[in-house]
């Protein structure tokens, strides 16, 4: 009988839980029960032929999964709670490109998100994070790094390993965007001691090996997990990438979350859509191609069909070549990396008005999200629930007494 230990990552819990949630996430509309672990996704240990073609540099081979000799689990309770506070999920795609918003009265400029994909995926409330919260993100990332230097992650259960690498990647990416916010396009952000691009900078050091975000994806996870669904677990910090769930990966839920993420992305416009002359797919499939799609068209189409809705299956049936869509690299926040304007807004929840200082750009995004939710409800994609209505309060700011003082 093996004894199973739980490793708790609890550093600075109170600070990571301190930022209030801006709004409830939109229900996904999926038939998958998000809190029930699904056994339909099996992340087998054998490498696929495509992955076997990719050589992994010697320093990274130390992270290749071995036979399980460690029976510990890592407790991500703090990160789980933090994600519930800072992540706004936008729900299932309605496969309608959002129209360009109208400029503010008196100007031709449009601040905030303008992308046709702006109502897909999820958003992180970077503009609401203060210095103390950012410091806590760094401390939490360092704690995960410390655990990986004390425990041989590669000897844990395979699902435990995968959950760790996905969480470490996403914590590190969110930390770096938060530290440098406002950021327009995270991929162009220069970070680390050598000021390298976000995906290339060696931000981590585990077991003497310097690691970048790209290393975690392409030198650890992709070569060692044969199911392409793992690609949907990596948050990219921008609109074009997979959504971020508002709870952490664990060994118990990693299969279920990856399936949920795959369904959301494949059935979104940013993941796949048909154009007049081609089947447009995200450039992220090109990144994963050497590992999972050696026979490009056939392997990719098989993968997409696995998660496609009936509507998307119809589009996939068209005899057209695959082409890469334009990737939306704008930060997945509430403001598109712009500095916020300030205004008082009325937030009506269940008929009761509450006042909040939210920028007009965020207010517009929330109104558009409310309209999307109504569309989803009309289509039967989600059950009827309460609504959140955002109304502008004209002209004068009103000071609201702080009851905590």
Q: Which of 88, 118, 106, 131 is nearest to 338 (CA)?
A: 118
Alpha-carbon dihedral angle through residues 188, 191, 197, 198, given to the nearest 10 degrees: -80
Q: Which of 240, 34, 291, 19 is nearest to 131 (CA)?
A: 19
d(CA 299, CA 291): 11
Q: Is residue 181 a contact partner of residue 189, using CB atoms and an 8 Å limit? A: no
Quote the pLDDT of residue 16.
Answer: 62
In 3-state terms the chain splits into helix, strand, coil percentages (rounded to 5) of 40, 10, 50
Quote the pLDDT of residue 29.
Answer: 58
User: What Å distances lie between residue 183 and 22, 44, 174, 300, 343, CA to CA?
Assistant: 20, 38, 12, 32, 22
How much is the pTM? 0.84
d(CA 154, CA 66): 6
Give the phi and the psi of residue 169 in degrees, each rounded to 5. Answer: -60, -50
285, with CB counted inside 10 A (0-12, 13-18, 19+), is buried
Quote the pLDDT of residue 226.
Answer: 95
Q: Is residue 87 a contact partner of residue 244, using CB atoms and an 8 Å limit? A: yes
Quote the pLDDT of residue 53.
Answer: 57
**Cis ω before 254 (30° cut-off from 0):** no
Query: DSSP alpha helices (H): ranges in 4-151?
Result: 13-16, 49-52, 77-86, 131-150
What does the pLDDT profile of the chain (405 residues) look like in tens digits?
Answer: 334 567 766 544 445 655 444 445 666 555 444 443 333 333 433 344 444 457 888 999 999 999 988 888 999 999 999 999 999 999 999 999 998 887 765 566 778 899 999 999 999 999 999 999 999 999 999 999 999 999 999 999 999 999 999 999 999 999 999 999 999 999 999 999 899 999 999 999 999 999 999 999 999 999 999 999 999 999 999 999 999 999 999 999 999 999 999 999 999 999 999 999 999 999 999 999 999 999 999 999 999 999 999 999 999 999 999 999 999 999 999 999 987 665 555 555 455 544 556 788 888 898 898 899 999 999 888 865 544 444 443 333 323 333 343
Residue 355's beta-bridge partner residues?
346
Alpha-carbon dihedral angle through residues 326, 202, 166, 25, given to the nearest 10 degrees: -60
């Amino acid at each position: 009988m093996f004894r199973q230990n739980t490793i708790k990552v609890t550093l600075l819990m109170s600070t990571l839980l301190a930022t209030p949630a801006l709004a409830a996430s939109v229900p996904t509309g999926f038939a998958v029960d998000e809190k029930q672990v699904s056994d339909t996704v099996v992340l087998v240990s054998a490498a696929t032929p495509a992955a076997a073609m990719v050589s992994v540099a010697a320093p990274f081979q130390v992270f290749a999964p071995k036979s399980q000799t460690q029976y510990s689990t890592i407790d991500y309770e703090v990160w789980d709670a933090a994600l519930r506070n800072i992540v706004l999920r936008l729900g299932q795609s309605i496969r309608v490109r959002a129209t360009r918003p109208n400029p503010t009265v008196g100007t031709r400029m449009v601040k905030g998100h303008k992308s046709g994909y702006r109502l897909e995926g999820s958003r992180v409330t970077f503009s609401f994070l203060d210095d103390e919260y950012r410091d806590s993100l760094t401390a939490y990332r360092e704690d995960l790094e410390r655990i990986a230097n004390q425990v041989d992650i590669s000897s844990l259960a395979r699902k435990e390993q995968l959950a760790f690498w996905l969480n470490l990647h996403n914590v590190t990416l969110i930390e770096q965007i938060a530290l440098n916010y406002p950021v327009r396009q995270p991929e162009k952000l220069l970070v680390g001691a050598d000021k390298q691009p976000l995906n290339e900078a060696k931000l981590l050091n585990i077991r003497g090996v310097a690691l970048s975000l790209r290393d975690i994806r392409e030198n650890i996870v992709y070569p060692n997990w044969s199911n392409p669904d793992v690609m949907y677990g990596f948050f990219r910090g921008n609109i074009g990438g997979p959504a971020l769930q508002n709870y952490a990966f664990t060994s118990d839920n990693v299969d279920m979350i990856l399936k949920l993420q795959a369904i959301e992305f494949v059935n979104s416009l940013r993941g796949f859509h048909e154009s007049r002359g081609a089947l447009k797919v995200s450039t992220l499939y090109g990144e994963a191609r050497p590992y999972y799609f050696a026979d490009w068209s056939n392997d990719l189409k098989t993968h997409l069909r696995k998660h496609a809705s009936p509507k998307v299956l119809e589009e996939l049936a068209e005899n057209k070549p695959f082409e890469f869509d334009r990737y939306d690299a704008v930060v997945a926040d509430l403001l598109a990396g712009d500095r916020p304007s300030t205004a008082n807004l009325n937030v009506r929840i269940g008929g009761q008005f509450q006042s909040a200082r939210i920028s007009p750009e965020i207010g517009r995004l929330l109104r558009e999200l409310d309209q999307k939710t109504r569309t989803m409800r009309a289509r039967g994609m989600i059950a009827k629930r309460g609504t959140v209505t955002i109304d502008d309060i004209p002209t004068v700011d009103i000071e609201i007494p702080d009851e905590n003082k």
